C-alpha cells in the first residue's frame, strides 16, 4: 500500500447545493495522484466554521496522511475555512501556509489559509479556484512526505 495517503475536503455551499461542479477538489486530487499520492477520500461540506471543524475532525480521526481543503479562505462572510481549521488543529504550521501564499503573491494576499497538524495528519487550506488550489498545493508538495514522516514518528534521514 502506498504510504503517501491523502484526503480532499471541498468547502462550498454551491457544490453541496448541486449548483456548482467540484472542479477545485478534482484539481487537488489530480495534483496529488500525479505526485504519487493515493487519494483515499473526497468529501464536500457547506461553508461555515462548524462544518469545516466537524469534517476535519472526522477525516483525520484514525488517519495518517494529508488532508487538503479547498474553498472558504477569502473575505466573503461565509468564508470560514481558516476559522474552522484553527478550531481543531493541534499545532499551526505557518511556514506551509506562507509558502503556499508566496507562489502567486497578487491574489494570495487575500488568502487567509492556515496549515497545521491534527493527530497524525497535516491539514492544508487552499483557495477555491482550481488553478489556485493546485498551485498552492504544488508549492509545498515536495515537503509533505518528510513532514508526515516526522509527524508520525517514521524513520527519517536526520
- Residue-wise pLDDT for 26-72, tens only, equals 999 999 999 999 999 999 999 999 999 999 999 999 999 999 999 99
In which domain, by residue range, is 91 found?
5-152
Query: For cell 508549492, what's the residue?
Result: 139
CATH number at residue 87: 3.40.980.10
Domain count, the chain: 1
Is residue 94 domain-resident? yes
Is residue 71 domain-resident? yes
**Distance (Å, whole) CA 100 – CA 38:** 21
Is residue 158 domain-resident? no
Mean pLDDT score of the chain, rounded to an integer? 94
Is residue 126 domain-resident? yes
Each residue's pLDDT tens digit, 85-97: 999 999 999 999 9
Query: 43 by DSSP, 3-state: which?
Result: strand
Q: What average pLDDT score do residues 117-146 get?
A: 96
Is residue 14 domain-resident? yes
Is residue 157 domain-resident? no
State residue 158's pLDDT score.
Answer: 62
User: The C-alpha cell of 101 is what?
Assistant: 501564499
Give Cα 71 to chain centroid, integer Å. Answer: 9
Residue 111 CB neighbour total at 10 angstroms: 20
Each residue's pLDDT tens digit, 1-19: 457 999 999 999 999 999 9
Amino acid at each position: 500500500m502506498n504510504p503517501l495517503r491523502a484526503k480532499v475536503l471541498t468547502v462550498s455551499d454551491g457544490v453541496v447545493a448541486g449548483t456548482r461542479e467540484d472542479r477545485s477538489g478534482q484539481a487537488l486530487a489530480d495534483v496529488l495522484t500525479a505526485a504519487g499520492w493515493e487519494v483515499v477520500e473526497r468529501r464536500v461540506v457547506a461553508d461555515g466554521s462548524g462544518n469545516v471543524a466537524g469534517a476535519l475532525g472526522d477525516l483525520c480521526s484514525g488517519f495518517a496522511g494529508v488532508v487538503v481543503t479547498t474553498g472558504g479562505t477569502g473575505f466573503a462572510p461565509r468564508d470560514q475555512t481558516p476559522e474552522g481549521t484553527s478550531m481543531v488543529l493541534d499545532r499551526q504550521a505557518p511556514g506551509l501556509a506562507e509558502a503556499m501564499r508566496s507562489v502567486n503573491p497578487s491574489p494570495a494576499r487575500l488568502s487567509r489559509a492556515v496549515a497545521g497538524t491534527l493527530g497524525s495528519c497535516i491539514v492544508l487550506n487552499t483557495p477555491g479556484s482550481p488553478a489556485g488550489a493546485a498551485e498552492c498545493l504544488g508549492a509545498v508538495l515536495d515537503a509533505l512526505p518528510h513532514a508526515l514522516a516526522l509527524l508520525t514518528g517514521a524513520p527519517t534521514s536526520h
